[in-house]
Amino acid sequence: MTPQDPAAEQVAAQFGSPGLNAASVLAATVEKEKARKDTDLELIESLESTILRADAPDSVWEQTVAAIKKLALSRAKSRMENS
């Protein structure tokens, strides 16, 4: 099978965009997750801007942990206010 073979082209098409485009796959996976009824949407949106990004910077951990703590704290405060 050479690169010009129909079989190769078929495989290439199968695994071409977006099959091997990791960023697209990741984005689609996140969207799918967000669309679920039982998903913690706030959590996923928070992660979407931090660790669930294909181009996440090195400083992503600091942001992620801070975002999770903030989320937990705001929920705790809200529960206190409503109790």
Residues 54-83 that bind another protein (CB under 8 A): 54-56, 60, 64-65, 68-69, 71-73, 75-77, 79-80
Q: Which two tokens mark 67?
A: 């975002």
CB of 61 closer than 8 Å to CB of 35: no
Q: Using CB under 8 A as the criterion, what x/- string covers residues 20-59 for binding another protein?
A: xxxx-xx--x--xx--x-xxx--xx--x---xx-xxx---
> CB 56 → another protein: shortest distance, Å?
7
Residues in CB range of 63: below 8 A, 6 or more apart: 49, 50
